[in-house]
Amino acid sequence: MTPPVTPDQIRSHTLRNDAVQVTLLSLGCAVQRWQVAGTDVTLGYADPAEYIRNAPYLGVIVGRVANRISNARFTLDGETYLLPANLPPHCLHGGSPGFSHRLWELEPVSQTEARFTLVSEDGDQGFPGTARAEVRITLDGYALRYDMRVATDRPTPINLAQHLYFNLMGTGSVMDHSLQVAAAQYLPVDGTNTPTGEILPVDGTRYDYRTTRSLTDADPQRIGCDASVVLDSGAGPAATLSAPNGMGLRLWTDRPTLQIYTTPWLSPQGAALPGQTHEPMTAICLEAQDHADAMTHGFPSVLHGPETPYRQLTTIEIAPRG
């Protein structure tokens, strides 16, 4: 059983250059604070100890398996594995505690790079096999690059995702942000927000961001979005986001889907960074990952073993647009 984390165990390292400062935590491999030209562009907690609870998964790496696994179980090679139903009746973000709430080993490589490692033992949260995870986070100009790798000693599902909450204005609602996503299809969900197994066109839905539109235009009733879109192939950014203050975000990834979450259920859980409020629609998450609930449906496999290690490359650039 994983022992509880205490505040004195949490380490931090700040990446910095002339324009950008990013504070990282060993707990959850979290981005606590990301500032561009003095503006906070992600939500965070003022006190690192708040990340011990962190119910909204602010800024962390989620895993072993991001998103939902329906009915908190899956079958592999004829054996059924039971997982924690931490979002009843489903397993969310790898169980409790998943990678998001674990202490990682933090190695400050340089002023612009940090390396995190974590060992998840066989049977952790019900998953088979030992998984050895490594995340390198590198600051390059205005861009933050995630290089995430997992080596396993037997076949097991792996699907990591960064869970940053973006607000390019630094505070207030994000419904005036404009989003473009290179995705013509999405994964419909049931009443518990779990994929049905279908893949449908985004045409006529509030998930259609093939051309740039404001979040308000896409969702005038403010229902909120928490859905996976299937990314088109291509060399350009998978997503772009812009705010009225001229700040812009571009995201590149080698993952096939992007979870778009406009935080309709966000609520205050702890003391926020100065000037921030953690309320519905005050951030947007853009979570690059593999197909959600792939172990249940006929989606591309998320199984990785000794001969097929996991790797994800995702780069997020946030910069003033001149």
Q: What is the pLDDT of residues 72-115, one digit of tens each?
A: 999 999 999 999 999 999 999 999 999 999 999 999 999 999 99
287 as an active site residue: the answer is yes
Q: Which fold has domain 7-320?
A: Beta-galactosidase; Chain A, domain 5 (2.70.98)
Q: Where are the domains of the chain?
A: 7-320
Is the pLDDT score of 132 beyond 90?
Answer: yes
Which residues touch 258 (CB under 8 Å, ≥6 apart)? 181, 183, 228, 229, 231, 238, 239, 251, 286, 287, 288, 289
User: Which residue of the set 13, 90, 287, 291 is catalytic?
Assistant: 287
Per-residue pLDDT, 322: 66
Output the CA torsion 267→272→274→277 (10° steps). 0
Cβ pair 184, 232 in contact under 8 A? yes
* Whole-number average pLDDT of the chain: 97
- For the entire predicted model, the pTM comes to 0.97
pLDDT band at 234 (very low <50, low <70, confident <90, very high): confident
pLDDT band at 250 (very low <50, low <70, confident <90, very high): very high
pLDDT band at 3 (very low <50, low <70, confident <90, very high): confident
279 as an active site residue: the answer is no
Per-residue pLDDT, 94: 98
Of the listed ranges 110-114, 116-120, 197-201, 219-223, the one predicted with least confidence: 219-223
The distance from CA 247 to its chain's CA centroid, rounded to whole angstroms, is 21
Per-residue pLDDT, 126: 98
Length, in residues, of the chain? 322
User: Which residue of the set 13, 93, 163, 291 is catalytic?
Assistant: 163
Per-residue pLDDT, 170: 94
Cβ pair 279, 248 in contact under 8 A? no
Q: What is the pLDDT of residues 170-185, one digit of tens each?
A: 999 999 999 999 999 9
